[in-house]
Structure 1
Amino acid sequence: MSATRRAEERSFVRVDRPVDGVAVVTLDRPDRMNAMAFDVMVPFQQQLAELGRDNAVRAIVITGEGRAFCAGADQKSAGRPPYADGLRRPGYALRSLEVLEEVIATMRRLHQPVIAAVNGAAVGGGLCLALACDVRIASEAAYFRAAGINNGLTASELGLSYLLPRAVGSSHAADMMFTGRDVGAEEAARIGLVSRLADPVVEEAVAVGERIASLSQPGIEMTKRSLHAGIAAGSLESYMPIEGIGQLYLRLLTDNFEEATRARKEGRPAQFRDDLP
């Protein structure tokens, strides 16, 4: 792929750093409601991977330009996935799916917490993108739809049937997936699909990211690892040692616990250091 082609693709994905430690990644194709065409999703995945390697970035906010967060499948033109030349229809379909699955996997692998600032429609694959984030904040204009069932397909795609019931419980997930109905912002907050409502939603998400960036980097990273492991754990007994190892790791290798104790006694913010005491 040429440098010119990459530059053209990246124009649909914008990265800003409004405050220290926080990157805002914006899907920037509002005329197509930020749909999941390959010329949007490929550079989106690449930008996320680059941010994941940037240790100055402590939290990542994802949002969409215009009236949509992401409208899912691009009904106008999805474009071509990379490395699909010469494939017939079954192989082409598999390669296309792999590209989109890698977007979700990249989001889940990031060591930084990822915050969705859902500014409008999060439909189909757009709902999946929101679910792949660690924290979801919605504007009053946001709505969510498991759209596959409305198109004669399964509602399960890109991890939705794994992540949605873990976010809202099996009954709410079944309601959304079986009916394909829109879930508005207030209902989304009530059932736990989002943690809060805010306008302007990106500013609120950046404020959450800034709070995260002020805390211990390894503490946040270990917390994210523990959170994801807990979601996937088979039993409480098998999971608790993972939590304990994380606590011991930071307790023994940093003096952040002592600093937090001193700061509370002195009535000041803690100044965490993530090197050895």
Structure 2
Amino acid sequence: MAEPNLLIDWDGPVARVTLNRPQQLNALNAALAAELHDFFSGLVRDRSTRVVILQAAGRSFCCGLDLKEQLVQPVHGDAEAALALQHSIRNIILAMRRCPQPIIGIVQGAASGGGLALALACDIRLMTPDARMNAAFIKVGLTGCDVGVSYFLNRMVGASVAAELILTGRFIDATRAVGLGLVSRVDTLQQLHEEARALASDMLATSPLGLRLTKDGLNHAIDGASLEAVIALEDRQQVLCTQTPQFVEAVSAFVEKRVPNYVQKI
């Protein structure tokens, strides 16, 4: 019986999602892409899952699109088929950004092309010392701007570095990535798994609504038209939070120096 392409394990409200095609360096084939999209798009309606940890089996995070599989079903000369293939990957990235749960990504080995896009769509990225990431699209006859990578890199590392990486397809290593703020921490894979658990634990200590709206606010702040527009959104979210029992419990727990006990409707 074939191994599943995607493994999903729940530890209470934390979903640990594992890309599980290690022999193919977790390349994105049609089945894996569909399962990733179904999982992340389903999170919009899932209030029991509060944090997601995205990781990969084997020595690499994700080497991008499975070109060997796609060459069996070529899209050259068929614009509709090419667009459908394009949407199958880009829709994962959109679903990751739209879901209200923070996503912690653990990157080892290579994160290339679509694999880079998956890493950039995470809210927090952790990276092993041997890991490398690149916008590989331009290496295979495409533009370097694909599935959101040009959007994320321009905002995360600035226009000059983004242009360097996208125009050349060069790899960025862990040392440079953490120096640029592209990743939060570089450490051994075991230590990164522990850090991911610790981050998830800290997030779970916050109110459920507050956590969801914080991710929403951060994403909108990236595209905010002005400081005033971002602050107006923050104002509305803060007022919304004050109207919930979670806010009352959080304040009571803070004053009483105890752990809050949040109850939310599922």
Alpha-carbon displacement from aligned partner over 1:207-262 (angstroms, at most 9, x marks no partner):
21222122101001111111111111111122211010000111233352x54444
Q: Is there any run of 5+ residues in structure 2 with no aligned partner, and where?
A: none
**Cα contact 1:216–1:274 (8 A) shared by 2:** no
Of 90, 94, 103, the match for 2:83: 94
Equivalent position of 1:204 in the other structure: 195
Identical counterparts, % of pairs: 35
Equivalent position of 2:258 in the other structure: 268
Alpha-carbon displacement from aligned partner over 1:129-186 (angstroms, at most 9, x marks no partner):
1111111111222211111222332110001111111112222212211222111112
Equivalent position of 1:152 in the other structure: 141
Q: Is there any run of 5+ residues in structure 1 with no aligned partner, and where?
A: 1-6, 82-86
1:68 maps to a residue whose letter is S
Q: Label 1:45 to 1:79 Cα distance change in 2 as closer, same or farther (>3 A).
A: farther
**Cα contact 1:21–1:210 (8 A) shared by 2:** no
Residue 79 of structure 1 deviates from its aligned partner by 7.7
Equivalent position of 2:4 in the other structure: 11
TM-score under structure 2 normalisation? 0.89
1:234 has 2:250 as partner: no
Separation of aligned partners in 2, 1:112 and 1:79: 35
**Cα contact 1:172–1:191 (8 A) shared by 2:** no
Equivalent position of 1:143 in the other structure: 132
Alpha-carbon displacement from aligned partner over 1:27-63 (angstroms, at most 9, x marks no partner):
1001111111112111121122334433221001111
Equivalent position of 2:41 in the other structure: 49
Equivalent position of 2:175 in the other structure: 186
**Cα contact 1:63–1:202 (8 A) shared by 2:** no
Give SS of 1:271's match.
coil
Q: Pairwise CA RMSD of aligned residues?
A: 2.5
Equivalent position of 2:61 in the other structure: 69
1:185 maps to a residue whose letter is A
| Superposition map of 1:217-228 within 5 A | 217-228=208-219
Separation of aligned partners in 1, 2:9 and 2:264: 26
TM-score under structure 1 normalisation? 0.86
Q: Label 1:100 to 1:92 Cα distance change in 2 as closer, same or farther (>3 A).
A: same
Alignment: residue pair count? 263
Equivalent position of 1:254 in the other structure: 245
**Cα contact 1:198–1:204 (8 A) shared by 2:** no
